[in-house]
Structure 1
Amino acid sequence: MDTLDDLFARLQEATAPTEIEALQDGIWQIWLTAGHPVLDKHLETGMRALAAGDYTLAIQQFTLLTEVSPDYAEGWNKRATAYYLRGEYNASLRDVRETLRLEPRHFGALSGWATMLRMLGDDRGAFRVLSRLEKICPAWPGLQNQLRDLRDRLDDQNS
């Protein structure tokens, strides 16, 4: 079975969208295992609540996960997603930072962070975050277009 490091090394080299997607799926499979049946149950209940639009229940479940297992990056990432969907961007950004402290290669957290920064009008910050994502997966679908758009906007602001 591939380790996270193996999958990330291959993701850095991948260019075909289907290969990138397969590698990301493999990484998500590892990330979505909290490592204990009780923790996995909180994660599963939280993800179901998230899918159903019950962000309060999702946040409660992911908060339990982060309290019981503070080193489990995906608990923080999932709670960041729930906060984002509820419109609580500052709380979401705090959890994104914690996710990335624990797993600096977390492409989902980086992508979400860049989206929020763009929404908040911080093109320079979004560019920096997407540049970090580019180091992990240069061929991430749509990434080069986003970087080019941001570069153009930043150039226009500076001229």
Structure 2
Amino acid sequence: MLDDLFARLRDATAPAEMEALQDGIWQIWLSAGHPLLDKRLETGIRALSADDYGLAIREFTFLIETAPDYAEGWNKRATAYYLRGEYKAALRDVRETLRREPRHFGALSGQATILRMLGDARGALRPLLRLEQLCPAWPGLQLQLRSLRNGLGEDLG
């Protein structure tokens, strides 16, 4: 099912269609596959919404320790670290997310954002190019790519 949604996302051009496909993918990703893990994920997401990043990190760490192959546990903890300003920890968790789910568009987008914030334009370009392979019509993607390429100038060769 996930492969089919990604195949359709790659060809989608209408914003409403892309949003519906992304929502379907998120529904799959947001299921940890066990009621206890789903509850901990939900608690962590609520903590993120309440700006309680410490609690969120503890909940997502529990997910990671209990189900280390569950990519979304890593992605959510990366988000919590990012929001808390711990960019290196966030990047580590993004890398773990992408090891488990290389198509994770949220992690790719987040990785590009953090790398750009840290002044690594060339590094930010890589995840955006991967995102372009997943969904060339991703809103704002072409503008971001053009901006990064222009900033790199002749270095792109």
Give the TM-score normalised by the residue count of structure 1.
Answer: 0.96
Instruction: Go from structure 1 to structure 2 and tell me whether the alpha carbon gap of 1:76 and 1:140 turns closer, same or farther (over 3 Å shift).
Output: same
1:139 aligns with 2:131: no
Alpha-carbon distance between aligned partners in 2 of 1:47 and 1:158, rounded to the nearest angstrom? 39
Q: Give the equivalent residue in structure 2 for 1:94.
A: 92
> 3-state DSSP class of the match of 1:63?
helix
Moved more, 63-72 or 124-133: 124-133
Render the CA deviation track for 1:94-116: whole Å, top value 9, x for unaligned. Answer: 00000000000000000000000
User: What is the identity, as a one-letter code, of the residue corresponding to 1:5?
Assistant: D
Q: Give the equivalent residue in structure 1 for 2:62.
A: 64
Divergent runs of 4+, >2 A? 156-159
Alpha-carbon distance between aligned partners in 1 of 2:63 and 2:56, rounded to the nearest angstrom? 11
CA RMSD of aligned residues (A): 1.2
1:110 aligns with 2:118: no
1:27 aligns with 2:22: no
Q: 1:156: Cα distance to partner?
A: 5.8
- What count of residue pairs does the alignment treat as equivalent? 157
Unmatched 5+ residue regions in structure 2?
none
Render the CA deviation track for 1:91-144: whole Å, top value 9, x for unaligned. Answer: 100000000000000000000000001000111111111001100111000000
Instruction: Go from structure 1 to structure 2 and tell me whether the alpha carbon gap of 1:158 and 1:70 turns closer, same or farther (over 3 Å shift).
Output: closer
User: What is the identity, as a one-letter code, of the residue corresponding to 1:18?
Assistant: A
CA contact (8 A) 2:149 2:156 kept: no
Render the CA deviation track for 1:41-92: whole Å, top value 9, x for unaligned. Answer: 0000000000000000000000000000000000000000000000000110
Unmatched 5+ residue regions in structure 1?
none
Over the matched positions of the two proteins, sequence identity in percent amounts to: 76
Give the TM-score normalised by the residue count of structure 2.
Answer: 0.98
Alpha-carbon distance between aligned partners in 2 of 1:112 and 1:101, rounded to the nearest angstrom? 15
Q: Give the equivalent residue in structure 2 for 1:154.
A: 152
